[in-house]
Amino acid sequence: MTLQRTESLAPTPPSPLTLWEPMRSQEPPDALTLALESLPQLRERLPDLLNLELLESPGRFVLLLNKLIQLNLESDPLLASLAFGFPDALQLPSDDPSCATAMGLLQRLQHLNLPDRPRNEQQAQLMMRMIMALVNEQQLLAGLLAIQLERLEQHSCARKDDSEDVAWTSLHVFAPLAARLGIFWIKAELEDLAFRLLAPNTYQELKKLVASKRDERARKVEELTKSLQNLLEPCGLTPEIQGRYKRFYSIHEKLRKVNHDFERIQDLIGFRLLLSNVDECYAALGYIHEQWPPRKDRIKDYIAQPKPNGYQSLHTTIELPDGESVEVQIRTYEMHFLAEFGIAAHWRYKEQVRRDSNAQDSQPPEPPQVGFFPDSLFTVTPNGDIIELPNKATALDFAYAVHTEVGSRTTGVKINDVIAKLDSPLQTGDRVTVLTSAKQVPNKEWLGFAATHRARSKIRHALREQQREQFRKQGWERLEQEFRASGLNLNRMVKESRLEQECLQHRNQTFEHVLFCLGENSIRASTVLGWFVSSQEATVLEELVPETKPQAPRIGTGKTVLVDGLEQVPIRIARCCTPTASDPIQGYLAEGGLVSVHHPDCEALHHLNPDRQVPVHWG
């Protein structure tokens, strides 16, 4: 029975620094030689590529190498990871064909242009997705995780100014990435080390609480281990039983859910059973459920339905007689290996099994595939924020993703500090700066290269608003001309809200919408004028002149106006010039049939259609 500290759902990590333990009393070159004993494919190549004189920290190099060996990486991803972690001491020759693949992988890592610390958890999630899209190779991602873990360990040993940023990024970017790849031992190490750096006081308090019940937990682990052996061995099952404690960060997360009441956390211990095949796993699960009642909401079958990262196991939580809950994980040795090292090591296990079984012709099944977001691209703003866009997005789509107003005012962009056009396609990792002008407005040509639904929708909306404003101006001009011809002051009536009232009464529409309709010719200006002719007659405005009736004209009285050739025509004295009985007059026939009477020298009359002028005289 082995007792290890790990998190509830995380597999047991390999013994830390397995290859480093016998090297502590040796010089780094000797330690490196010993580490390379397990890498026959690099035993000859690596010493020739490595410049020990430029290696500032040989011990760190060996520590990183050990982590990469634990991950069972192939030689090219391993070599690229080492060169990325120690660029000065390990440089891959570009003219060496044997290093061509490793050089290509190294360039992927070098193209990572990442902010030191995302500003929130949403940005952290985008940063993880961006890393996956840029690297686009499972084993290389595993190597990147090892580099981040080694970096975090250095900050844990000697705190630096940027230690909190490194810890926060490790916790919110790289730990979820490790979980996505199924490399849970790195995930657990990253979480605990980051927790220790970000909240040192909380970490130490929790450490004391866990230590206070260490003896009690050890006793329960020993008792339950014997009970499991006594239960399963008579049934022909001989599993390897691993008792383990939860990781500190896992306990911390549980405390947040129970109002930081440590006594309410019951499943501080858990068990893992390793068996030879799947049938034995299900058989063991059945026997355990017969012995101890399970919590039905905590039974998970990840063998029948593996997680996206390929993780497989049976999970159950049983209730002990004293009321304590204990989690039990049941899996095969193969599943356990893959859970420890992730899908990046899937091929290594299959190859080992094939060699052991002498089945040289058998082909190992392909490992579960991780999605690298082929339908997305990830770009970076000048302040380090990451924006996810659909593939084939252009610089204009980026501008609208920043903000609608930014997109509408865009005149150009800089992509990686180089001036580019708005229709320039983007690639993952591009750093984009948007250039704007207050005078810029969207135009129809933008619809030809905008790729995102958001950008196209905003452009169409802006174009409709531009057209609407143009129609509104045209409607105002037509209505003002019609009202002026009839002696009405449009501006004054708008201020008095009379236009708004009449539009609501007659059309159930706002005055602004009516102006738009006037501009697009769906409403005639004479129709709107008619609303006010009838209302003015009802309110008997001062300017209204009584209609003429057939009667003997009273020449020279100055009280009536006669229209030559017309009878019973409504007449109005224009307020723009207000002619009196002693002034010469000229009539103007508006579209509503009303004749407005002006002074012949009236400036407003000169702006009206001369074909609609009619002769009038005082009666």
Average pLDDT estimate for 519-529: 87
Please say whether the beta carbons of 598 and 588 come within 8 A.
yes
Is the pLDDT at 529 greater than 90? The verdict is no
Q: To the nearest whole percent, how much of the chain has pLDDT over 70?
A: 83
Q: Is the pLDDT of residue 108 over 70?
A: yes
- Which residue pairs from 593-597 have beta carbons closer than 8 angstroms and sit at least 24 positions apart in sequence? 593/569, 594/486, 594/533, 594/569, 594/570, 595/563, 595/566, 595/569, 595/570, 595/571, 596/485, 596/486, 596/487, 596/571, 596/572, 597/545, 597/561, 597/571, 597/572, 597/573
pLDDT digits (tens, 9 = 90+) for 274-325: 999 999 999 999 999 999 999 888 899 999 999 877 789 999 999 988 888 8
89, 132: one domain: yes
Mean pLDDT score, 264-269: 72
β-bridge mates for residue 614, sequence order: 587
Boundary of a domain, candidates 435, 451, 467? 451
Region of 284 please: left (phi>0), alpha (psi -120 to 50) or beta. alpha
How many folded domains does the chain comprise?
Answer: 5
Which carries the bigger pLDDT value, residue 453 or residue 362? 453
E-strand stretches of 296-416: 300-301, 314-319, 325-332, 376-380, 386-390, 410-415
**β 595-598/571-573 pair status:** parallel
- pLDDT bracket for residue 354 (50, 70, 90): low
Of 316, 318, 317, 357, the residue nearest 334 (C-alpha): 357
CB 143 within 8 A of CB 112: no
* Distances, alpha carbon 202 to alpha carbons 173, 207, 209, 251, in Å: 22, 8, 11, 11
Query: Using 50, 70 and 90 to split pLDDT, how confident is the model at 93?
Result: confident
Residue 19, domain CATH:
1.10.3210.10
pLDDT bucket at 562, cuts 50 / 70 / 90: confident
User: Is the residue at 310 inside a domain?
Assistant: no
Question: What pLDDT does residue 344 have?
Answer: 58
Stronger pLDDT, 534 or 612, i.e. the higher one: 612
Q: 551 pLDDT exceeds 70?
A: no
Shared-domain flag, residues 271 and 189: no
- Cα(494)–Cα(471) distance, integer angstroms: 18
Q: 253 or 396: whose pLDDT is higher?
A: 396
Position 362 confidence tier, pLDDT thresholds 50, 70, 90: very low
Per residue, what are the HEC states of 429-493? Answer: CCEEEEEECCCCCCCHHHHHCCCCHHHHHHHHHHHHHHHHHHHHHHHHHHHHHHHHHCCCCHHHH
- Return the pLDDT at 557: 40
Average pLDDT over residues 476-499: 86
User: In the prediction, which pLDDT does 24 show?
Assistant: 38
Given 500, 516, 539, the domain boundary residue is 539
Q: Among 198-202, 269-273, 453-457, 560-564, where is mean pLDDT lowest?
A: 560-564
Name the token pair of 24: 């502590």
Q: What average pLDDT does the segment 451-475 reach? A: 92
What pLDDT, in 10s, does the model give residues 166-224? 999 999 999 999 988 888 889 999 999 999 999 999 999 888 888 877 788 888 888 99
Of 363, 397, 392, whose CA–CA distance to 376 is shortest?
392
pLDDT over 70 (residue 23): no
567 against 368, higher pLDDT = 567
Give the residues across from 41 on adjacent strands: none
Domain CATH code at residue 210: 3.30.460.10
User: Can you give the pLDDT at residue 550?
Assistant: 37
C-beta separation of 188 from 12 below 8 A: no
Q: Is residue 503 part of a domain?
A: yes
Shared-domain flag, residues 444 and 350? no
Q: Are residues 555 and 612 in the same domain?
A: yes
How far is it, in rounded angstroms, from Cα 42 to Cα 35? 11
Question: Using CB atoms within 10 A of its CB, is residue 279 exposed (0-12), middle (13-18) or buried (19+)?
Answer: exposed
Question: What's the pLDDT at 370?
Answer: 63
139 in the same domain as 116: yes
Task: Indicate if 191 and 209 belong to the same structural domain.
Answer: no
Note the pLDDT of residue 80: 93
Note the pLDDT of residue 318. Answer: 92
Burial class of residue 316 (count of CB atoms within 10 Å of its CB; 0-12, 13-18, 19+):
buried
Greatest extent of the chain over all pairs of C-alpha atoms, in Å: 133
Mean pLDDT of 587-599: 80
Query: Do residue 18 and residue 145 come from a single domain?
Result: yes
Q: At 152, is the pLDDT very low, low, confident or very high (cuts 50, 70, 90)?
A: very high
Domain that holds residue 566: 545-618
For residue 549, pLDDT beyond 70: no
Report if residue 99 sits inside a domain.
yes
Residue 7: pLDDT above 80? no
Same domain for 63 and 91, yes or no, is: yes
Do residues 614 and 566 make contact, with C-beta atoms less than 8 angstroms apart?
yes
Helices marked H in 182-325: 184-198, 200-212, 214-232, 248-257, 278-291
Q: The sheet that has 432-436: what strands, in order across it?
A: 418-420, 410-415, 432-436
Mean pLDDT of the chain: 82
Over residues 559-580, the mean pLDDT reads 78
Task: Establish if 457 belongs to a structural domain.
Answer: no
pLDDT band at 346, cuts 50/70/90? low
Look at residue 38 in the predicted model and tell me its pLDDT. Answer: 65
Tell me the average pLDDT across 529-555: 45
| Residue range 100-125: mean pLDDT, rounded | 90
Count CB neighbours of 362 within 10 A.
11
For residue 188, is it within any domain? yes
How many CB atoms neighbour CB 502 within 10 A? Answer: 17
Instruction: Indicate the pairing of strand 269-275 with strand 561-563.
Output: unpaired
Residue 470 inside a domain? The answer is no
Q: Which of 242-256, 338-352, 460-474, 597-611 has the highest mean pLDDT?
A: 460-474
Q: Is the pLDDT of residue 540 over 60?
A: no
Last residue of a domain, one of 419, 451, 483: 451
Contact by Cβ (8 Å): 525, 512: no
The band of 259, judged by pLDDT with boundaries at 50, 70 and 90, is: confident
Q: Please give the share of the chain, as a percent, with pLDDT higher than 90.
A: 39
502: helix, strand or coil:
helix
pLDDT at 580: 86
Residue 304 lies in a domain: no
Q: What is the pLDDT of residue 30?
A: 61
CA angle 65, 70, 73 (to 5 degrees): 80
Looking at residue 160, its pLDDT comes to: 84
Rounded to whole angstroms, how far apart are CA atoms 527 and 574? 20
464 within domain boundaries: no
Amino acid occupying residue 566: L
Q: Based on the domain organization, do 85 and 144 belong to the same domain? A: yes
Indicate if 333 and 356 belong to the same structural domain. no
Q: Output 302 or 261, whichever has higher pLDDT.
A: 302
Q: Are residues 155 and 99 in the same domain?
A: yes
For residues 285 and 258, membership in a common domain is answered with: yes
Please give the residue that has the higher pLDDT: either 39 or 284.
284
pLDDT at position 538 = 34
Res. 380 pLDDT band, cuts 50 70 90:
very high
Q: With bands split at pLDDT 50, 70 and 90, how would you rate the model's confidence at 70?
A: confident
Per-residue pLDDT for 31 more than 70? no
Segment 348-367 shows an average pLDDT of 53
